Amino acid sequence: RLRPVSLARVRLSDDFWRPRRRINREATLPAQYARLEQTGRLDNFRRAAGKIDAPFSGVYFNDSDVYKWLEAASWTLCTDRDPDLERMVEAAIDEIEAAQRPDGYLNTYFALERASERWTDLTHKHELYCAGHLIQAAVSHHRATGGDHLLRVARRFADHICDTFGPEEEGKRPGTDGHEEIEMALVELYRDTGDRRYLDQARYFLDVRGRGLLGGREYHQDHRPFREMDRMVGHAVRAVYLNAGAADLYAETGDPTLLAALERLWHDMTTRRMYVSGGIGSRYEDEAFGEDYELPNDRAYAETCAAIGSVMWNWRMLSISGDARYADILEHVLFNAVLPGLSLDGQSYFYQNPLSDGGSHRRSPWFGVACCPPNVARLLASLPGYFYGVCEDEIRVHLYAEGDAEIPLEGRTVGLRQRTRYPWDGSIEIEVAGEGEFGLALRVPAWCQDGSARIEVNGETFHGEAVSGDYARIRRPWRPGDRVRLTLPMTVRPVESHPYVAENAGRVALMRGPLLYCLEQADNPGLDLRDVVVPIDGPFSAEYRPDSLGGIVALRTPAEVARPDEGWEGRLYREARPRTGEPRRPTAGVTAVPYYAWANREPGRMLVWLRAR
Amino acid sequence: RLRPVSLARVRLSDDFWRPRRRINREATLPAQYARLEQTGRLDNFRRAAGKIDAPFSGVYFNDSDVYKWLEAASWTLCTDRDPDLERMVEAAIDEIEAAQRPDGYLNTYFALERASERWTDLTHKHELYCAGHLIQAAVSHHRATGGDHLLRVARRFADHICDTFGPEEEGKRPGTDGHEEIEMALVELYRDTGDRRYLDQARYFLDVRGRGLLGGREYHQDHRPFREMDRMVGHAVRAVYLNAGAADLYAETGDPTLLAALERLWHDMTTRRMYVSGGIGSRYEDEAFGEDYELPNDRAYAETCAAIGSVMWNWRMLSISGDARYADILEHVLFNAVLPGLSLDGQSYFYQNPLSDGGSHRRSPWFGVACCPPNVARLLASLPGYFYGVCEDEIRVHLYAEGDAEIPLEGRTVGLRQRTRYPWDGSIEIEVAGEGEFGLALRVPAWCQDGSARIEVNGETFHGEAVSGDYARIRRPWRPGDRVRLTLPMTVRPVESHPYVAENAGRVALMRGPLLYCLEQADNPGLDLRDVVVPIDGPFSAEYRPDSLGGIVALRTPAEVARPDEGWEGRLYREARPRTGEPRRPTAGVTAVPYYAWANREPGRMLVWLRAR
């Protein structure tokens, strides 16, 4: 089991994440706070506190956006001083506290005239979900700033919840949450306070799923008890939040039946129900997982929040197992399923993330259901905390980016400095500022061909194992200034999907390093991207373009252009004839850009899965 | 412009339609009537009439199911005596009449305590839709039986509607229907009564679309005026019902701007937004059309009602133009998109008609929203009316099946007798019982390769044009006993789809004659259908199986079995490598059955689009 390394101890000074986190702090968070005001989300708290007389504004789960924003802002204050942001945080916490009822209950939708409806519709009305986000925000705020103002509010509400929900024989009300979130939150509250009651309450909420309290639908993961689940079904965000909560419970209880279910579900998701981007959720209807291999590209749902939930779940799986495959998915989802959700300027968002589009799918500055914007913000704000882990006397390096860390290790502190241009370049130098024998484990990504990653220690080849999809574990007596160099192959990789994914038959997606690529109309004027046929065996060239899309490595390859022949004019179907000979087709150079950067220029067609020969 | 030939004058004595229509009469209609009772649909009328004291039961548009059932039963009584059915019809009409308000208004949802809500939510509440089905049922009942009992009820309601809706300057209430249907119905009422007011009212309802009265959404075809439409969008059933109504209006007014829009929409649907089955509606969300070439197979919506609406629209396009391409689509949709909606025993129904399924999609004996069951019933009941048309002194034969017809032609009656085993066999003999010169036009289906259809008149080769996708027009002085033989090629045709339908790339669907085929697990034990690779150039054999699925021609072909290789174990994506050499694969004979007959045996996988080489 890995211990996390607090984001307070990790500093990113790279050109990929640092500018994104600065935009998050300087542009995204203030703009989101303004939205919270404009849309009445903060007024809802003032209203519940009796400060203003106005109708409730927006959707019944709008409190959660305030809490998620607070979590994002708190993590930001942990790594960066920002007095303006601090004032916003304090103001929001004051409004929240004032809206709390004397019994600890806190939800602005169920205030005043709706107070009598409290807890009457757990299946649909998100009260426990909002409570979970309050608790999560409070724990984050406490950890990030040391302040316990919000934590006291959250504990009062958590205590109220613990008093209210439980087995009938204890005089409580049976029930669980229609939208999972509180499981993770209560485990975190237990970790932060040491009060075991919260852990027990989280376990209660998990254990009563699948007994029909929510109506028994797959949509709510209520179709069977958690420990009997073996397929990822229903609403995708709910499903991964549930699994993240179950992983937290496993981390604190060691209950092996939880781990077994988690491993089954992870295997199901990653081998049958996940886009090549790492996105999840194949259906618009119910924002849900589909059947095995049901992965439509145009109509991918792949909600940004579901990708964030997958990062959260994979992070917990990594922490409880130390297994690099979870870090592989975590990194992959981060780059290719979370990041596309945010525009390069940090001001607009995707809710759905299709893998193919005709040019009409564009980011929006906000949504009526605004779950995704503050979710992206809290992930970016907490990102440095995902870089490292510690297991006994071994440091695990999960992610790579230029920067420094001060890692507590068995009573001492080990400094690490990463020097790299990752994800654009595969060379990563790590300078170790520490003394004595301990382990340094570097993740060799699964996307490296076996044997292709090279490691040198102080200029000498490392002869230990460096298996892709695992950690290369370097154990030695270290001296200050020791340098380890990991070199990952940054070749372009055409990737194919399982033959049962019907839509991708005969197609490849291009990857380089951890990044998925796509074609965009903007780089390929005059071409219908649907006609492009790329060569599986290349050649592919990679070229750094500092002025394009915030600085990217673009890919180039000579492709064939296979236009539909004249016989298709005005027809959708025709009799098929056996092909005779190879068609002669014109060729054209095509340019691919990282998928995370798509839809940041003029609208146009975008395509991930390319016809291949 | 073609005049229809009443179903009263057409008798089907074949082995394909006749048994289906008998099941419709003997099993389906009585079972549906029992459902109308069990589900409270008839009680809703009794309640509105003050006969019983009970809450309204079901959905707010449930009246329409009673009306559609009445239409089906009426057409049935036109061709077959059935005293039991007659009693049910009379009983239902009595209940309906008793529920009518003194002002002519009639809707059981907006009765009693909801009377004040009448006409307050045309966008969502289907009042005009239900009214349309009442009027349609009344006209059908009048035409089929001569009785005007229901017609008087319908006219009173229609008059009320005409008094209520119209331009503000006439002192009326502007408005139109959120679910189209009343346009067709009012034109039919005009035809039946000669009262031009109904025609004008239908035109009013069409003309005010696209002006925001319904909120301006594509879903309701309210995004722009009808004459400016060029893409099939929104809810698929609504869209084709609207077009059928517009075609009726064109038929009676000759307004060329209507025809231009209809032709644009038809071209759009048939070249970009129609399944190979003829089904329409690509999305579960909103039961709607998708983007161009968006035709997912597993998640096809392809609602049975939308296919029926397409038959209705194509029938009207055929009538106003005489163009055989509409008859081609009509026949294709009938066999391959409507018929799959009904089980072979006539007792259960598909709402959605996917073109690929893992074995979980099964027909249901009824639905909460039960639009499809009575819709199938009314189409089967009225089917003989789709076989022939008359244009001046020419008889058009649109459809083929063993049977007789007595066709009124310029003051005399011409008898036609079809002898054929179509759709299983391509030989169609037509014996003409008539004298004098007139035209007989036989449809040569578009699926025949040019020049492959042969025609003989009294044993001698016909040397006139017999172009596929058009009518072969035989004009001569006829004598009683003249025989025309049309021979259509019944070769198996592998069909491919436009390269922009991504999911079907590298795949073919098998057709023979007018029928689409599919593979079902039941015929291919031990094979994963997803592994089957069929040869584009055959050989294919066709074999009549009288005991299978009610009697079908099954297809056989030797296929390759391409199982996913071992490298796919536990993976969804992998690096693609260039193929070297042809893989050696085991072969297996596979059997295909008509798509309309799928899911009538034990559950199992089904596949229309087959991998091909």
Q: Could you give the ipTM of this predicted complex?
A: 0.95
Confidence (pLDDT) at B563: 95
Cα–Cα distance measured from residue B200 to residue A203, given in angstroms and rounded to the nearest whole number? 67
Q: Of B274, B509, B576, which has the smallest distance from its Cβ to A612's Cβ? A: B576
Name the DSSP class of B25: I
Confidence of residue B199 (pLDDT cuts 50, 70, 90): very high
On the question of pLDDT at B576 being above 90, the answer is yes
Cα–Cα distance measured from residue A465 to residue A475, given in angstroms and rounded to the nearest whole number? 12
Q: Which chain A residue is nearest to residue B272, measuring alpha carbons?
A: A572
Interface probe, candidates A573, A580, A608, chain B, greatest B C-beta count within 10 A:
A573
Averaged pLDDT, A421-446: 97
Q: Which residues have C-beta within 8 Å of that of residue B387, sequence separation ≥ 6?
A: B5, B10, B12, B397, B398, B399, B401, B403, B405
CB contact under 8 A, A267 and B570: yes
CB contact under 8 A, B495 and A356: no
What are residue B283's DSSP bridge partners?
B288
Averaged pLDDT, B587-610: 98
Q: Are strands B356-357 and B403-409 parallel, antiparallel or unpaired?
A: unpaired
Confidence (pLDDT) at B308: 98
Cα–Cα distance measured from residue A12 to residue B420, given in angstroms and rounded to the nearest whole number? 80
Active-site residue numbers of A?
287, 371
How many angstroms away from the CA of A55 is the closest CA of chain B?
Answer: 25
On the question of pLDDT at A139 being above 80, the answer is yes
The segment(s) of chain A belonging to CATH 1.50.10 are 11-350
Cα–Cα distance measured from residue A243 to residue A226, given in angstroms and rounded to the nearest whole number? 9
Cα–Cα distance measured from residue A477 to residue A457, given in angstroms and rounded to the nearest whole number? 12
How many angstroms away from the CA of B496 is the closest CA of chain A?
Answer: 5
Q: What percent of chain A has pLDDT over 90?
A: 98
For the segment B271-305, what is each residue's pLDDT rounded down to a tens digit? 999 999 999 999 999 999 999 999 999 999 999 99
Q: Which chain B residue is nearest to residue A528, measuring alpha carbons?
A: B500
Amino acid, res. B39: T
Cα–Cα distance measured from residue B513 to residue B400, given in angstroms and rounded to the nearest whole number? 12
Mean pLDDT of chain A: 97
Q: Which residues have C-beta within 8 Å of that of residue A254, sequence separation ≥ 6?
A: none
Name the DSSP class of A597: G
CA distances to A237, A270, A395, A403 from A443, rounded to whole Å, are 28, 19, 11, 17
Cα–Cα distance measured from residue A528 to residue A506, given in angstroms and rounded to the nearest whole number? 18
- Write the DSSP string, B277-324: TS----BTGGGB--STT---STT----HHHHHHHHHHHHHHHHHH--H
The segment(s) of chain B belonging to CATH 1.50.10.20 are 212-350
Cβ-contact B572, A498 below 8 angstroms: yes
CA distances to A303, B102, B586 from A68, rounded to whole Å, are 17, 59, 56
Chain B residues whose beta carbon lies within 8 Å of the beta carbon of residue A537: 578
Amino acid, res. A68: K
On the question of pLDDT at A588 being above 80, the answer is yes
Chain B residues whose beta carbon lies within 8 Å of the beta carbon of residue A499: 530, 562, 564, 568
The segment(s) of chain A belonging to CATH 2.60.420 are 390-487
Confidence (pLDDT) at B6: 97
For the segment A331-381, what is each residue's pLDDT rounded down to a tens digit? 999 999 999 999 999 999 999 999 999 999 999 999 999 999 999 999 999
CB contact under 8 A, A272 and B577: no
Mean pLDDT of chain B: 97
Task: Give burial (CB, 10 Å; 0-12/13-18/19+) of A587.
Answer: exposed
Q: What percent of chain A has pLDDT over 70?
A: 100
Cβ-contact A587, A560 below 8 angstroms: yes
Q: Which chain B residue is nearest to residue A512, measuring alpha carbons?
A: B575
For A265, the enclosing helix (H) or strand (E) is: helix A256-272
Please check whether the domain covering B212-350 is classified as CATH 2.90.10.10.
no
Q: Of A272, A290, A530, which has the smallest distance from its Cβ to B500's Cβ? A: A530
* Residue keyed to tokens 């790579």: A400
Amino acid, res. B428: I
What are residue B391's DSSP bridge partners?
B394
CB contact under 8 A, A573 and B494: no
CA distances to A393, B165, B494, B497 from A567, rounded to whole Å, are 68, 49, 16, 11
The first and second tokens of residue B205, run together, are: 């309802």
Q: Which chain B residue is nearest to residue A492, measuring alpha carbons?
A: B575
Cα–Cα distance measured from residue B331 to residue B514, given in angstroms and rounded to the nearest whole number? 7
Helix then strand count (H, E) for chain A reads 14, 23
Provide the terminal-to-terminal Cα distance of chain B, rounded to the nearest Å: 45
Cα–Cα distance measured from residue B79 to residue B387, given in angstroms and rounded to the nearest whole number? 14
Closest residue by Cα to residue A237 from A297, A287, A311, A285: A287
Chain B residues whose beta carbon lies within 8 Å of the beta carbon of residue A509: 573
On the question of pLDDT at B213 being above 80, the answer is yes
Q: What percent of chain B has pLDDT over 90?
A: 98
Cα–Cα distance measured from residue B303 to residue B287, given in angstroms and rounded to the nearest whole number? 8
Cα–Cα distance measured from residue B386 to residue B5, given in angstroms and rounded to the nearest whole number? 8
Chain A residues whose beta carbon lies within 8 Å of the beta carbon of residue B508: 576
Cβ neighbours of B594 (radius 10 Å): 26
Q: Of A495, A506, A568, which has the smallest distance from its Cβ to B505's Cβ? A: A506
For the segment A519-537, what is each residue's pLDDT rounded down to a tens digit? 999 999 999 999 999 999 9
Long-range contacts of A599-604 (CB under 8 A, 24+ apart): A599/A343, A599/A350, A599/A357, A599/A361, A599/A362, A599/A363, A600/A343, A600/A344, A600/A549, A601/A520, A601/A522, A601/A549, A602/A522, A603/A359, A603/A360, A603/A362, A604/A359, A604/A520, A604/A521, A604/A522
For the segment A17-76, what is each residue's pLDDT rounded down to a tens digit? 999 999 999 999 999 999 999 999 999 999 999 999 999 999 999 999 999 999 999 999
Q: C-alpha dihedral over B240, B245, B250, B252, to 10 degrees?
A: 150
For the segment A163-199, what is each residue's pLDDT rounded down to a tens digit? 999 999 999 999 999 999 999 999 999 999 999 999 9
Task: Give burial (CB, 10 Å; 0-12/13-18/19+) of B299.
Answer: buried
CATH for A390-487 is 2.60.420
Q: Is the dihedral of CA B357, B360, B365, B369 positive or negative?
A: negative
Closest residue by Cα to residue B246 from B272, B265, B231, B223: B265
CA distances to A272, A278, A282, A355 from A295, rounded to whole Å, are 9, 11, 6, 10
Cα A124 to chain centroid, rounded: 24
Q: Which residues have C-beta within 8 Å of that of residue B363, sequence separation ≥ 6?
A: B342, B343, B348, B349, B350, B599
Confidence (pLDDT) at B579: 75
Closest residue by Cα to residue A496 from B298, B565, B496: B565
- Write the DSSP string, B503-540: GGTTEEEEEETTEEEEEEGGGSTT--GGGEEE-TT---
Averaged pLDDT, A79-98: 97
CB contact under 8 A, B564 and A500: yes
CA angle A564, B494, B484 (to 5 degrees): 115
Q: Which chain A residue is nearest to residue B497, measuring alpha carbons?
A: A573
CB contact under 8 A, B498 and A573: yes
Cβ-contact B554, B545 below 8 angstroms: yes
Task: Give burial (CB, 10 Å; 0-12/13-18/19+) of A543.
Answer: exposed
Confidence (pLDDT) at B432: 97
Averaged pLDDT, A202-206: 98
Cα–Cα distance measured from residue B298 to residue B582, given in angstroms and rounded to the nearest whole number? 30
Cβ-contact A330, A314 below 8 angstroms: yes
Cβ-contact B533, A534 below 8 angstroms: no
Coil, strand or helix at A547: coil
Closest residue by Cα to residue B73 from B9, B150, B5, B17: B150
The first and second tokens of residue A370, run together, are: 């605004």
The first and second tokens of residue A562, run together, are: 């296979």
Closest residue by Cα to residue A476 from A454, A498, A496, A460: A460
Helix then strand count (H, E) for chain B reads 14, 23
3-state secondary structure B88-103: HHHHHHHHHHHHCCCC
Q: Of A298, A502, A537, which has the smallest distance from its Cβ to B578's Cβ? A: A537
CB contact under 8 A, B299 and A296: yes
> Which residue intervals of A334-415 are DSSP H helices?
372-382
Confidence (pLDDT) at A579: 75
CB contact under 8 A, A499 and B271: no
Confidence (pLDDT) at A583: 76
CA atoms within 13 A on the CB side of A59: 15
* Residue keyed to tokens 């087995």: A167
Amino acid, res. A519: L
CB contact under 8 A, A498 and B568: yes
CA distances to A569, B124, B498, B508 from A566, rounded to whole Å, are 6, 44, 11, 19
On the question of pLDDT at A452 being above 80, the answer is yes
The class (CATH top level) of A11-350 is: mainly alpha
Confidence (pLDDT) at A584: 83
